[in-house]
Chains A and B, each alone.
Chain A
């Protein structure tokens, strides 16, 4: 319990500091904040006034921060600086695609990463060599390059999958997001497969596994109950951190496949210098990143009693 509380406390600290960084970033630029927000676009005095109100530029700095934070917590991120749309609505329309893509990639990482790792860890021969080689190379392939190759081969040449859009309905999404999810999952998949393999290898040489074999426990049981279960401990942490990273790096894939997720919106907003949207998305991503990491840490404590009992922090 003390562990949970200390972990929550540090997460709150993280949220406060990072929201402050996200908020105050624009004041680092020389010149007045309005000029930065407008970026040389010609705007009517009314818009300028509404920007001053939106950012409450007439208030002291900390009041400004507090106002922004409280309205952000209530789901009000103001309006886009270029299209004047409500940022929250903009995000709400885009969020499902990103979540779906990240979860899809996450499932691929877990299933294929662990699957390939276990197979490679328990079998010798060509297959293991392929997995080892593939996982060494896999982390070196940038996701956007993998995306382009998949697009050209399976989308263009073979025509099996669509290369743009995110589809509608569950089946449509699953179909449309297959290539993006594969591209997004590759580097993490490679790392997970490699760690799983090493871990399974180490575990299958351990005393208790040898003992189980000696007692005549069936091989299949030894493998799943004694070897794999124990070897998944280090794998869980790796998977957890990588799931959070998938969310944070999904925007590259979304941009490559022109999906309508929040990541593509972020890139777009940076190009159009729409700082209100950038702030909102950055804040959401940091919060999501923090929450996933928290969940992973807590889960880890549940799985491994040593963390709960031992030196937690």
Chain B
């Protein structure tokens, strides 16, 4: 039966079955969690019971109840709503990081793999130097120079992530580049650029995707840490890292709702991405330095 005649519902179940074999049951749970979080982010205006800045000081530190499922924070804002709205900046930052990292790392890796020789060793040297710079320090330095913002922090982190990703992609691309069919394509006079984009890129794509999944978790933790330090997203915006930080004094006074809710949101998201990344990429990636 041709693909187009398959009913859409069964096509979905075929894809789901394939994903299930690859990721396992727990992996599918993780995928579902991520899907729910992303949907929540997109539908925040519909789902969140209150606006992110709505509330009065009179309602501060209300206990969880019917009106406020997770209680209110020190300014009387609904914690659940802020967690939902906060998902936006908390997911946007890591998304910027992984996209920028993937683009830069892939470009460098494919260039190095295609030309080999001097180009390869030069790029390798550059990456080595960059690798010696702790990611988070690079981000702090960038923030010290350009001022605190999510974009600055994300771009700096992305640059810090490039060396590792580029190395991994390069090694796979190099294996691909030395296969006979590439030599055959060259014999036919096809341009190197075309071969790289049309043939090598699709074959290293799984590697790129795995790297992106794993990086997402790391990026989320590091960006949240920067927001926690007051160097990323700025108040009164809702952001998970920032919420953990601004809930600190409430937590010590015995009102844990805000910090704990935001912190758990980070833990669950990172764990879900981490598990999927591990299933896709094997254990090697798990030992990586932050």
Chain A residues at the B interface, C-beta cutoff of 8 Å? 10-11, 13-14, 17-18, 21-22, 25-26, 28-29, 136-137, 139-145, 148-149, 151-152, 155-156, 163, 187, 191, 194-195, 198, 234, 237-238, 241-242, 244-245, 248-249, 251-252, 255-256, 266-267, 269-271, 273, 275, 278, 282, 285-286, 289-290, 293
Shortest beta-carbon distance, A40 to chain B, in Å? 12
In the complex the two chains form, is B286's CB within 8 Å of A270's CB?
no
Bound together, the chains give a CA A137 to CA B271 distance in angstroms of: 6
Contacts A136-B275, A142-B221, A270-B231 aside, 10 further interface pairs with beta carbons under 8 A come to: A14-B129, A137-B267, A140-B274, A143-B225, A144-B245, A152-B256, A241-B289, A245-B289, A275-B144, A290-B132
In the complex the two chains form, is B144's CB within 8 Å of A198's CB?
no
A234 and chain B: residue at smallest CB distance: B287
In the complex the two chains form, is B145's CB within 8 Å of A267's CB?
no
Interface residues on B, range: 35 or more
In the complex the two chains form, is A142's CB within 8 Å of B283's CB?
no
Shortest beta-carbon distance, B151 to chain A, in Å? 15
In the complex the two chains form, is A267's CB within 8 Å of B229's CB?
yes
B251 and chain A: residue at smallest CB distance: A152
In the complex the two chains form, is A14's CB within 8 Å of B132's CB?
yes
User: For the complex, is B143 an interface residue (Cβ under 8 Å from A)?
Assistant: yes
A-B pairs with beta carbons under 8 A, tally:
150
Shortest beta-carbon distance, B66 to chain A, in Å? 26
Chain B residues at the A interface, C-beta cutoff of 8 Å? 125, 128-129, 132-134, 136-137, 140-146, 148, 217, 221, 224-225, 228-231, 241, 244-245, 247-248, 251-252, 254, 256, 259-260, 263, 266-268, 270-271, 274-275, 283, 286-287, 289-290
In the complex the two chains form, is B132's CB within 8 Å of A242's CB?
no
Q: Decide: A278 near B144, CB < 8 A? Known: A195-B286, A267-B231.
A: yes
In the complex the two chains form, is B129's CB within 8 Å of A13's CB?
yes
Shortest beta-carbon distance, B231 to chain A, in Å? 6
Shortest beta-carbon distance, B141 to chain A, in Å? 5
In the complex the two chains form, is A255's CB within 8 Å of B229's CB?
yes
Cβ of B148: which chain A residues have Cβ within 8 Å of it? Answer: 270
